[in-house]
A and B are shown apart, each in its own frame.
Chain A
């Protein structure tokens, strides 16, 4: 083809007009004012007195309890969502069955349902007083609402689609050729999954798991309703931030927020470092 000599439009579209710089400046200002500056203030508030505020926060037993509980619940929810997510993605992509489209649309529902509605919904079914299944379950010694199982469920609910949304496009792109080849050479289902499917979806899976983890650690509304928010019993880190702030222990609230924010920013950074590698691999 070669460079068209008499095409002024082409060179114009390549040159950086003043508009490019206006746009760039506008976008940077917007993002700094909306996200970067406010987020950086949390770090500033936390380290205003050196490490003092972090030290007092981490020696507060109610905060350390809340942080531990948050990690326990988030890990359980992420494990459940990972297993469910991998299975569901494989089923949605590899198989055709009645109701598949409906299921695939419903899977996205948790992303757009309000956390408060999630909490309400779980209480209506599993609540000890007047829930559909709650009283029966409690008679058998299994308390869901105001206890850990309900909190894990609420957390799993809100981060349910994240793994699936990452895996489905990758699985669709990879196709089934290699899996069929492996099967024809005598590999069983487990071998095929471990040797062929898993390596292909590895990075998308890590991406989905990291996002689920970030989302699970930060869940607030649904957990607030389902847990009952009892300090030292069912209070997670995000709930503790709210309480400490309202109890005028703002230094503690900021320090806990700083810890939560660092983890979520770390998750985002990990994901952004992984992403280009997945794209190269395709």
Chain B
């Protein structure tokens, strides 16, 4: 008995010292962590690593050849350009929507709250169909963006709507209005208050929202299937390119393009983590 208990206690004490926290892992939570990490690895980590390994088997030259392929390069360029444009629109409109939701009070505000979350919950294929019915060939308002680059823009704009709004809104709601009032009583005009008092406080949240909406836009697939027509060199986005490679049995090229998208996702996560830590440090 003694022999079996003593080493486990020693190990536990050792672990506690290493982690430096007040609550180290107990035996049962250690098993729980093990199971959780195994499931997470089986589901997400090993498959994602497989993408990187598949890319690396072709070597650097194959990777570069795939990315500089005319059709693939056009797809990546289109995706990034439209994603940047949409992120720009979201930064302005998202902040404005958050502002109206927090500071304005009017009948039907609850309905707007629901509308903002719809793009997050709506199946992407339905999102595409939905946009097609208002801005497609049978448009009741006579605007037809189907199979054009504007369709890619519209689809990105739709699916990324909630991100900036939902990251800025809580920060704006917590903002201390005394500071604004102090600035106003000292003679600052409203634009000056916005630029000098409100904007600096919202900046990390706006950045976080922008990063999320950029990441979401470059990885979008479902809403474009029916809307953009996926015309090579014109409206084909990166995700569609990966799928085409995969359907043609060219997994190495599919993995190469996927690696680029994964790299961007990782960058976004790192950036978000840094922003969150900065905010946490400021209290």
Q: Which of A27, A115, A153, A257 contacts B129 (CB 8 A)?
A: A257
Q: Are B96 and A241 in contact (CB under 8 A)?
A: no
Q: Are A96 and B36 in contact (CB under 8 A)?
A: no
Q: Is A39 an interface residue (CB 8 A)?
A: yes
Knowing A24-B104, A34-B158, A261-B130, the reply to whether A124 touches B47 (Cβ < 8 A) is yes
CA gap between A84 and B43 in the complex, in Å = 12
Q: Are A13 and B181 in contact (CB under 8 A)?
A: yes
Q: Are A10 and B185 in contact (CB under 8 A)?
A: yes
Q: Which of B48, B96, B114, B215 contacts A269 (CB 8 A)?
A: B114
Q: Are A117 and B219 in contact (CB under 8 A)?
A: yes
A28 and chain B: residue at smallest CB distance: B112
Q: Are B21 and A109 in contact (CB under 8 A)?
A: no
Q: Which of B119, B186, B222 contacts A35 (CB 8 A)?
A: B119
List CB contacts (< 8 Å) of A83-98 with chain B. Answer: 84, 87-88, 90-91, 94-98
Q: Is A199 an interface residue (CB 8 A)?
A: no
Knowing A106-B45, A220-B221, the reply to whether A120 touches B254 (Cβ < 8 A) is yes
Residues on the A chain within 8 Å of B37, using CB: 103
Q: Are B180 and A98 in contact (CB under 8 A)?
A: no
Q: Are B261 and A95 in contact (CB under 8 A)?
A: no
Knowing A31-B112, A157-B44, A245-B129, the reply to whether A112 touches B124 (Cβ < 8 A) is no
B interface SS class = helix
Q: Is A171 an interface residue (CB 8 A)?
A: no
Q: Is A147 an interface residue (CB 8 A)?
A: no
Q: Is B18 an interface residue (CB 8 A)?
A: yes
Q: Are A264 and B50 in contact (CB under 8 A)?
A: no
User: Closest CB-CB distance, A226 to chain B, in whole Å?
Assistant: 11
Knowing A97-B33, A113-B219, A114-B239, the reply to whether A257 touches B100 (Cβ < 8 A) is no
CA gap between A45 and B251 in the complex, in Å = 40
Q: Are A265 and B121 in contact (CB under 8 A)?
A: yes
Q: Are A218 and B129 in contact (CB under 8 A)?
A: no
Knowing A220-B124, A261-B122, the reply to whether A121 touches B265 (Cβ < 8 A) is no
CA gap between A17 and B194 in the complex, in Å = 15
Q: Are B134 and A114 in contact (CB under 8 A)?
A: no
Q: Are B134 and A41 in contact (CB under 8 A)?
A: yes
Q: Are A95 and B97 in contact (CB under 8 A)?
A: no
Residues on the B chain within 8 Å of A265, using CB: 114, 118, 121-122
Q: Which of A157, A224, A267 contacts B121 (CB 8 A)?
A: A267
Residues on the B chain within 8 Å of A23, using CB: 96, 99-100, 104
User: Closest CB-CB distance, B14 to chain A, in whole Å?
Assistant: 12
Q: Are B184 and A10 in contact (CB under 8 A)?
A: yes
Residues on the B chain within 8 Å of A94, using CB: 23, 29
19 further contact pairs, Cβ within 8 A, besides A26-B96, A114-B239, A268-B114: A23-B99, A27-B100, A31-B116, A35-B115, A39-B118, A39-B130, A42-B130, A87-B35, A91-B29, A96-B23, A96-B24, A103-B37, A111-B215, A113-B219, A116-B243, A120-B254, A221-B239, A238-B124, A242-B225
* 7 A-B pairs (CB sep. < 8 Å): A12-B184, A23-B104, A94-B23, A97-B24, A115-B219, A117-B239, A238-B126
Using a CB–CB cutoff of 8 Å, the interface residues on chain A facing chain B are: 4, 7, 9-10, 12-13, 17, 19-20, 23-24, 26-28, 30-31, 34-39, 41-42, 45, 84, 87-88, 90-91, 94-98, 100, 103, 105-126, 130, 132, 153, 156-157, 160, 176, 189, 211, 214-215, 217-221, 224-225, 237-239, 241-242, 245-246, 253-254, 257, 260-261, 264-265, 267-269, 271-272
Please list the 4 inter-chain residue pairs (A to B) with the smallest Cβ-Cβ separation, ordered nearest first.
A96-B21, A218-B123, A9-B184, A114-B219
